[in-house]
Structure 1
Amino acid sequence: MKSLLFPSAVIGMALVVSACSSGTSEPVTSTVVVQPSQSASASSESAPAPSSTAEAASATSEKKSGQRSADEFLNAPLDHSTMDSYGVTNADGSSGCMVIPDNDHVSCRLAFNDPPLVPQVGMPTWESNGLKYESDYGFSPAAFVGGEYRTAGALQPVESVDIEGVTFEAPADGGLKGTKDGHEFTISGSGEYHSDTFPPKPAADGTARVGTVCGQANPMGNQDFLVYVAQDGTNCNEAMAALDEYKDAEKGGQALIAPVSNGWGCSVSALDGQPDTPENRHFTCSADNGQQRVVLIK
C-alpha cells in the first residue's frame, strides 16, 4: 500500500476528511477438448467447438480492455473511521485520487508541471497540488495542506477501473484520467493538465470563482499583471472597472486618495493568511462589502 499526502485543507473550501493490494486478477477459462473419431474428416478435426471459440474471444476481449476491479483499490479500514475509501494512482505513483462513496468525495493529488494558481484569502499557499470535485461544477485545481492521503493500488498504462461512479484510466503515456458525471480531467505523464472546466471563466453576469483570470491590468503604469479572483463570487466586470478608475487616478497623482465610484478600493498588501513580507505583498482590489477581491500577479 502506498501512502501519499492527503488534502485536508483546500483552496476554495474547507475540507475535512477522515483518511480513509494491487493485483490483476486474470480470468480463468476451462476448455474441454474432445478427441475426434478416426472417421472424422480433416476439416472437422481443425474446427474448434463453438463454446471454446466464444470463451477464447471473451477472454481475449477482457484482457485487451485492461479493466480492473474496484475491490483491488479498496483501502484497508482505519480504527477511527467506518467509511470505505478507495485510492488509485498512475503507474509511478506521482498522481492519484481518493474516492469516499459515503459523502460523494473525490479528490486528487497531481504532479502538475505548471501548477495552476488559486490565490485565496486565508490560505498560505496559492499553487495547486491537486484537484477537488464539486457536483455542480466538476473538477477544479486546489491547494491542499497537511493530512494523509491513502492509495491502495496503481493502474498500469491502458488499464482502467470504475469506482463508485468515477472511471479512472491510465493513458499510454503514464498519466491519469478521471471521469465523473460527464466531467473529466487528464494529467499526462509529463504533468500537462487538461479538463472540461479549465481554465475557469466568468459567468455571463461576470461572477467568477477563485483562480479565474478576469483580464490584464497595469495600474502602476509600468507592466501588465494578470487579475486573479481571490474570493468566490467576485464580479470580474466590477473589478476591472475599479482597476481602470485606479489607473486614471494614478495618472493624476491621486491614486491613494481618489475614491472609486463602484465601491471598490485598491492597495498593495499581503492577503489575509499570508505573512506580511515583501514577497507576499501584491496589488489587490476589494469591494467595500468584503465579499469580493482580486489580486494582481505577474
Structure 2
Amino acid sequence: MTKLLNALPLALIACTAAACSAAEDSTSGEPQFHNTSTAETSADNTESTEASSAPTSAKDKEGDSGLKELDKEDFIATNLGHATSTVYGVSSPNDRVACTVTEDQGLIGCSVMFADPPLYPATGQPLWLSNSVNFDADAGFYPNVKMGGDAAAPTPLEAGSTVTMNGVTFESVSEDEFTVKIDGHHFTVKDDGEYYSDTFPPQPDGEGKAMTGTICGDLGNGEYVYAKENGTNCARAMEVLEYYKNYDFAPMEGGNRGYLMEDDFSCSYNADPGWPDEPDYRWLGCSIEDGGAVVVLDPTARALVSEKGGQR
C-alpha cells in the first residue's frame, strides 16, 4: 500500500501572481501577498474653509487628496457606437491600467499589466494569468482573466490628477502609482506593476465560501490549494485533500491518475480542458458536491502556466 500523493508530481504554482512579491524572493514557493487595509478614510471636514471669491472650474479644482480634479466629460469614449449610455475610458499615465465606466452601470472593469499576474485557475479556462481587475459589491476588487470583448478607448489621467464618474474615483498620484476606488474599496498598481488592494488576497466569506483564485490552504512542501469555482467551500476542500493525502491505495486502485471517489467528492490527477494532456500539465484537482472545486499547485506551476500562455 502506498500513498499515491507522494508518488505523483504536482505540476503548478504556489504563488498568486500579483500576490507574490517581486523577484527578490522568487526562489521561495510561499506566496508573498500585498495586502493593505481599508483604514485610509478621508478626513472629516466638519469645519468649512474660506473659499476664494474667484470662480474655479472642475479642471482647476483641488480636492481633499491634494490632486487636481478633472472633468469627467474629458474621458467620454467615442469608439463604442453601440453603447446605450455614456461610456468613460480612463487609463494610468504609463498605460498599465485602463478602465471602463458606464453612466448606468458603474465600473465595468480594468485591464491591468501586472508585474507578477495573480493566478486565476477557473475551471475549464485555458489561461490562468490574470490580466484584469473586476469589482463585486460583496467581495470588492479581484483580479481575473478577461478574454475578448470591447473596451472603451481610454484617456490617460495625468499624474497629480483625479476624476470621478458614477461613484468610481481614479487617482493618478504619479506616473507609476494609480488607484481606483469605489464603495469604500480600492486597488493600486505601482512599483512597475505590483498590485495592492484591501481585498487581496481574497478570503473566504463568513460561511467559508471562496471565489475563484482564493488560496484555501497549504498542504505543505509548497503545495497550495486554490479555489477553481466561485462559492467553493474551502473548509470542506481542505478536509477532502487531507483525506486524500493520507489515503492508502490498494494495489491497482486509482490507476496512474490517482483517482479517488467518495460519497460527496472525487479527486484525480488530470489536465484541465484546454491544456495539453501531458504529465507536466496534470495537477491534483478535487470536485465536491455542492462545494465547488479546487486544484493543488506547487512552485513549478507558474513557469508552466506562463510558458503555455505565451504559446496562445
Q: Distance in 1 between matches of 2:292 and 2:58?
A: 58
Aligned AA (2:179): K
CA displacement, residues 66-122 of structure 1 (integer Å, 9 cap, x when unaligned): 111000100015333333210011112221111122233420011211111110112
Q: Please show how residues 12-91 of structure 1 align to structure 2 within 5 Å.
A: 54-55=53-54, 62=61, 65-76=67-78, 78-91=80-93
Identity of aligned residues (%): 34
Q: Distance in 1 between matches of 2:269 and 2:260?
A: 16
Within the candidate set 102, 109, 112, 1:110 is matched to 112
Shift of 1:55: 2.9
Q: CA RMSD in A?
A: 3.0
Whether the aligned pair in 2 keeps the contact of 1:246 and 1:260 (CA below 8 Å) is no
Q: 1:170 to 1:253 in 2, by over 3 A?
A: farther
Q: Residue 232 of structure 2 corresponds to which residue in structure 1?
A: 234
Q: Distance in 2 between matches of 1:123 and 1:251?
A: 31
Aligned AA (1:187): V
Larger Rg: 1
Shift of 1:151: 2.9
Q: Residue 156 of structure 2 corresponds to which residue in structure 1?
A: 154
Whether the aligned pair in 2 keeps the contact of 1:95 and 1:175 (CA below 8 Å) is no
Aligned AA (1:265): S
Q: Residue 267 of structure 1 corresponds to which residue in structure 2?
A: 268
Q: Distance in 2 between matches of 1:136 and 1:236?
A: 18
Mind listing any 5+ residue stretches in structure 2 that lack a counterpart?
1-51, 299-312
Q: Residue 215 of structure 1 corresponds to which residue in structure 2?
A: 217
Shift of 1:175: 2.4
Q: Residue 174 of structure 1 corresponds to which residue in structure 2?
A: 176
Higher relative CO (CA 8 A, sep ≥ 6), structure 1 or 2? Answer: 2
Q: Residue 282 of structure 1 corresponds to which residue in structure 2?
A: 283
Q: Does 1:98 align with 2:100?
A: yes
Shift of 1:138: 1.7
When normalised by structure 2's length, the TM-score is 0.69
Aligned AA (2:232): T
CA displacement, residues 140-179 of structure 1 (integer Å, 9 cap, x when unaligned): 1011112332233111222100111100001225221011
Aligned AA (2:294): V
Aligned AA (2:188): T
Q: 1:173 to 1:263 in 2, by over 3 A?
A: same
Whether the aligned pair in 2 keeps the contact of 1:213 and 1:226 (CA below 8 Å) is yes
Q: Residue 136 of structure 1 corresponds to which residue in structure 2?
A: 138
Q: Distance in 1 between matches of 2:114 and 2:157?
A: 19
When normalised by structure 1's length, the TM-score is 0.72
Q: Residue 188 of structure 2 corresponds to which residue in structure 1?
A: 186
Q: Distance in 2 between matches of 1:81 and 1:181?
A: 25
